[in-house]
Amino acid sequence: MKRLLLPILIISLIVGGCKFFPGKKEVKKVDTMAIWQHKQDSLNKIQEAIAAKEKAIQDSLQRVQEMLAKFHFHVIIGSFKVPTNADSWLQEVVKMGYNNAKIIDSPNGFKLVSIGAYESYSLAFTEINKINEGKEEQDKLELWIFDSK
């Protein structure tokens, strides 16, 4: 009887069911097309945001270039064929207090150390006069104007 009781008990649990032995679970049907479309929409939004940022950067760069194109009269404090000489002179010029100094390339291959860029020739010339104002002739800086246009 014991031999018969154990198999009957196991069969009744399996067939009859129990909350510990759940029956077949319902399989949720997933709409893969809807999920794929959602991912594509997300990717499109990201690509649109990237394109908008790139356009904003390009517009900003264009405005900066247009602004810089206006200031094409440079007050030059040194002209060098050897780039390392221009670099070391630039460092000296910055130590002199010309923090906006930079190196620009001339069409003839020289590196020009500029201490300022101006919208007109007269503004650049006025700046040269201000720099040398009140100095003795031997103390005046040798400055000249370069038109980068």
Distance CA 20, CA 44 (A): 47
Q: pLDDT-derived band of residue 14, with 50, 70 and 90 as boundaries? A: low
The rounded radius of gyration (Å) of the Cα atoms in the chain is 39
Q: pLDDT-derived band of residue 13, with 50, 70 and 90 as boundaries? A: low
Distance CA 59, CA 23 (A): 64
Q: pLDDT-derived band of residue 22, with 50, 70 and 90 as boundaries? A: low
Domain-embedded: residue 56: no
pLDDT per residue over 24-73, tens digit each? 566 667 778 888 898 999 999 999 999 999 999 999 988 888 776 777 89
Domain-embedded: residue 86: yes
Q: What is the β-pairing status of strands 102-105 and 144-147?
A: unpaired
pTM for this prediction = 0.57
What's residue 18's pLDDT?
A: 54
Q: What is the β-pairing status of strands 73-80 and 144-147?
A: antiparallel
Domain-embedded: residue 85: yes
Domain-embedded: residue 61: no
Domain-embedded: residue 39: no
Q: State the residue range of the domain holding 90.
A: 71-147
CB 43 within 8 A of CB 35: no
Domain-embedded: residue 104: yes
Burial of residue 77 (number of CB atoms within 10 Å: 0-12, 13-18, 19+): buried
pLDDT per residue over 92-127, tens digit each? 999 999 998 999 999 999 999 999 999 889 999 999
Domain-embedded: residue 43: no
Q: In total, how many domains does the chain have? A: 1
Spatial neighbors of 144 by CB under 8 A, at least 6 apart, are: 75, 76, 128
Tell me the CATH number at 90.
3.30.70.1070
